[in-house]
Amino acid sequence: PPAGPSKKKSRKHQRFMERRALLEQKGLLSSRRRLDSQTPVVGLEARSTLPKAGGTMALGCGKVPKPKQVTSPSLSPSASPDSIARHHSVLLSQGDGSSKGVRTSSPLVRMSSPLLRPGKYVAIDCEMVGTGPQGRLSELARCSVVSYEGDVIYDKYVQPELPIVDYRTRWSGITKQHMKSAIPFKVAQAEILKILKDKIVVGHAIHNDFQALKYFHPKDRTRDTSRIPVLNQRAGLPVRASVSLKSLARHLLHKKIQVGCKGHSSVEDAQTAMELYRLVEVQWETELARSLPPRPPSPVTDPTTCTSQYMDDRYWPTDLMASSL
């Protein structure tokens, strides 16, 4: 018989065993069964020569493809951010349960961090001024958006649609001088919403920011640090209490924000919210994945859906059927 199929199967099995050995070395897979004597074993010497992620390894049989990321077959590269977060949570739930954040997390967290797609996560904070009767209406005057790592993506002053009655400088930090370089609200709104599209957005009391933007973000893609009991618990505060960003930063991050009389910095507040999120990211996403209802299968990707049924007569318009008789 031709040796082609058996040879192909042997190479596939060999690649599988090499990947298995690599995962066992990194502690991502428990070695419950010993490898057969015929299976190439990756010894200590070979393991010591393994390069870091992104390289290839040679084990006497030539170069092999790069190790694939630890993903389930159901996760495609074009998966939506919320499904990525849900899948990421499942991976993290198999780890050591650490909630010290990405920087000090287990090898599993570091291994699966590319799945998290940090570029899909942003934090936002807005500063408002008073307009309308007696300045009671809050309108956007500054908006800052930072990345997963805390880098500033967007930070601009915004001219409200109504005349400013109260600058609220003590809290907003906005002055008349800032409005000279401000852009119109509609322009800022379009720029900001373009950034937030398809992102998972982090913020503190973030509903106020969305209200100022006159925008509604999907709930399953919103992470509000004022509504997560685990933060209060770690800070030693009442679980159901509404704790300010300033207080959480002091207790958990050991830093002082919103000090002085010059008002808040929306960049600093957005960065702080992202730091708090990353502090409890593993536990938060795990609990969120358990609470979110499963998404219904897409009719396009559902293998049980057959488009041929729509050619049946019962789906044709009545007038079309009458004209064809």
pLDDT tier, 106 (very low <50, low <70, confident <90, very high otherwise): very low
Among the listed residues 129, 117, 206, the one whose alpha carbon sits nearest the alpha carbon of residue 164: 129
Q: What is the pLDDT of residues 47-70, one digit of tens each?
A: 444 444 444 444 444 444 554 444
Q: Is residue 317, in this structure, part of any structural domain at all?
A: no
The structure tokens listed for 226 are 């004022």
CATH number where 272 lies: 3.30.420.10
Residue at token pair 């690599």: 22
Q: Is the pLDDT of residue 91 over 50?
A: no
Question: Distance (Å, rounded) from C-alpha 64 to C-alpha 57?
Answer: 6
Q: Is residue 167, in this structure, part of any structural domain at all?
A: yes
DSSP assignment string, 126-163? EEEEEESGGG-EEEEEEEEEEETTS-EEEEEEEE-SS-
Q: Is the pLDDT of residue 35 over 70?
A: no
Structural domain of 223: 121-291
Mean pLDDT (whole number) for 289-298:
68
Q: Is residue 260, in this structure, part of any structural domain at all?
A: yes
Question: Distance (Å, rounded) from C-alpha 127 to C-alpha 141?
Answer: 6
Q: Which residue has better confidence, 213 or 237?
A: 213
Q: Which residue has better confidence, 98 or 313?
A: 313
Residue 297: alpha-carbon gap to chain centroid: 21
Among the listed residues 74, 96, 94, 97, the one whose alpha carbon sits nearest the alpha carbon of residue 84: 74
Question: For the chain, what is the domain count?
Answer: 1
Q: What is the pLDDT of residues 112-144, one digit of tens each?
A: 333 456 789 999 999 999 999 999 999 999 999
The pTM assigned to this predicted structure is 0.58
Q: Is residue 30, in this structure, part of any structural domain at all?
A: no
Residue 73 class from Cβ within 10 Å (0-12 exposed, 13-18 middle, 19+ buried)? exposed
Mean pLDDT (whole number) for 13-28:
80
AA letter at 132: G
Q: Is the pLDDT of residue 276 over 60?
A: yes
Residue 32: alpha-carbon gap to chain centroid: 33
Q: Is residue 157, in this structure, part of any structural domain at all?
A: yes
What pLDDT, on a 0 to 100 scale, did the predictor assign at position 222? Answer: 95
Q: Is the pLDDT of residue 74 over 80?
A: no
Q: Is residue 83, in this structure, part of any structural domain at all?
A: no
Q: Is residue 97, in this structure, part of any structural domain at all?
A: no
Instruction: Report the b/e string of 219-228 with b at 16+ CB within 10 A.
Output: ebbbbbbbeb
What pLDDT, on a 0 to 100 scale, did the predictor assign at position 53? Answer: 43
Q: Is residue 195, in this structure, part of any structural domain at all?
A: yes
